[in-house]
Structure 1
Amino acid sequence: MSLPQVVSRDEWLAARQELLVKEKAATKARDELNADRRRLPMVEIDKDYVFEGPDGKASLLDIFEGRPQLVVYHFMFDPAWDAGCKSCSSFLDDIGHLTHLNVRGTTFAAISRAPIDKITKFKARMGWNVPWYSSYGSDFNYDFNVTHDESVKPIVYNYRSKQEHINSGTGYYVQGDQPFELPGMSTFLRDGDRVFHTYSSYGRGVELLTSTTAILDITALGRQEDWEEPKGRSMGLGVQAGSPEMKYRDEY
């Protein structure tokens, strides 16, 4: 087993300070990337998707629960399966208290193709309280490229075609018995009754999106803090200029 080198405290401190420079640069680069993400244009959803929830039929607008933003986790759960994907289950286990998203006008929900009775049973078994809807019988999973069936539409995952994945060595994403499920996360924004798609991420782009701030960072409104770019999207619910939290952010 290979372990880190043993050094003196002074040597360790020097190495740690050197690494901190890179960490600060990565934090700054992440802030800039998040700002670029918030500058992305958006596309209006013009299809009337029908989902099944614990209280019956629901539209995409209904899933917002009246809030301005919606974040959807595309949970892998084929209609033929009796349980959800193990990796997706691990991901959902890591999701924090949804109140922290809700108070920033953001709803988090999972959507799968499995029928609602299977989802409800599995959700109870896992002890989750995350809103979870079935897209069974709708085009939603196909349109957002998380259910793949070439008899329905050409395979595209993480913005690459099947052949592009094969050519780049990531053919494991697009090969197998069809239909097959893959994970992803999509964000939506509403203006009145109009719903817009703002962002989707797939593959390893999703693996760290389990904390409140990480989830907010992929939305069009972001953390809604005064320091964020572009300006004018704060709902007045985040960290304000001059606050102790702002000081700590600037220091790191």
Structure 2
Amino acid sequence: MTATTENGKGGQAMHKPAVVSQQAWEVARRELLVKEKAHTRARDALAAERRRMPWVVVEENYVFEGTEGRVSLLDLFAGRHQLIVYRAFYEPGVFGWPEHACRGCSMVADQVAHVAHLNARDTTLVFASRAPQADIARLKARMGWTMPWVTITDSFDKDFGVDEWHGTNVFYRDGERIFRTYFINNRGDEQMGGTWNYLDITPLGRQEVWEDSPEGYPQTATYKWWNWNDAYVADAEPDKKWVEVSDAGEAAFRAEGANEKS
């Protein structure tokens, strides 16, 4: 069948794809799936290359204002090895102030997954703005946001390229030494929010055995570390029942793939 048209929003002609049989649709889906899987493999390869990027030492002792008072960049790690800092624009002069943060930054905040899953991978996520803590607390309560959010008090934003535009910086802690490992902004930020996308920009990655990571990097069995956001326990062994369930799921997936190739 030929493509159909109708008037969309604004009265413009909207040219829709052809309507076909279920069998023809499955053929088209499988053809596209080949390209989608190639895209996934390319994304994984890019993340592997990102994990091998050089690091730069952070020499400055940056200070922020948190809910409990002044905190250092080292404190933001909360004892973990990895730190992701998103520079959100919420301060005098930003459109929406003081009732709202920047619309784009607010959309990013709305998409942030539960941080417990990042924490389980030794990773802390923090938002940073120049607004006072009282305003940040009020904004978070109004919008239903729960991620840690600190106030910038020095040149942190200028030094890391986020004084005039949003951006996400990634840091790694080795003892008390801090390294900047990655930076992403502009359209790169639009994919942020999901647990996997955040982990893919960190130096340790998802830390699962299938990943191509440098020798000695921490890795655990795929799926096995996953948990409910209120059930993570530090250094706990994977739940035996969940291991059985995920093993069965993996086996079924591999069997389905083998049947498709035969």
Q: If the length of structure 2 is used for normalisation, what is the TM-score?
A: 0.77
Question: Equivalent residue of 2:18, what SS?
Answer: coil
Identity %: 46
CA contact (8 A) 1:224 1:233 kept: no
Q: CA deviation at 1:228?
A: 1.3
Deviations 1:73-110 (A, max 9, x none): 11112334313111211211111111111011000110
Q: CA deviation at 1:231?
A: 3.4
Identify the match of residue 115 of structure 1 among 132, 145, 161. 132
**Superposition CA RMSD, Å:** 2.3
Report the Cα distance in structure 1 between the residues aligned to 2:46 and 2:250, rounded to whole angstroms: 19
**1:104 corresponding residue in structure 2:** 121
CA contact (8 A) 2:181 2:203 kept: yes
Q: If the length of structure 1 is used for normalisation, what is the TM-score?
A: 0.80
**Amino acid across the alignment from 1:146:** V
Identify the match of residue 39 of structure 2 among 18, 22, 26. 26
Q: CA deviation at 1:225?
A: 1.0
Flag the 1:146–1:246 CA change in 2: closer, same or farther, 3 A.
farther
Is 1:142 aligned with 2:158? yes
Gaps of 5+ in 2: 1-13, 225-242, 258-262
Q: CA deviation at 1:232?
A: 3.3
Is 1:185 aligned with 2:168? yes
**1:158 corresponding residue in structure 2:** none
CA contact (8 A) 2:81 2:174 kept: yes
Report the Cα distance in structure 2 between the residues aligned to 1:209 and 1:188, rounded to whole angstroms: 16
Report the Cα distance in structure 2 between the residues aligned to 1:79 and 1:32, rounded to whole angstroms: 41
Question: Equivalent residue of 1:230, what SS?
Answer: coil
CA contact (8 A) 2:121 2:206 kept: yes
Flag the 1:108–1:238 CA change in 2: closer, same or farther, 3 A.
farther
Question: Greater relative contact order (Cα 8 A, min sep 6): structure 1 or 2?
Answer: 1
- Count residues in correspondence: 217
CA contact (8 A) 2:209 2:220 kept: no
Q: CA deviation at 1:236?
A: 4.2
Report the Cα distance in structure 1 between the residues aligned to 2:221 and 2:206, rounded to whole angstroms: 6
Question: Equivalent residue of 1:7, what SS?
Answer: coil
Larger Rg: 2
Gaps of 5+ in 1: 149-181
Is 1:218 aligned with 2:235? no
**Amino acid across the alignment from 1:122:** L
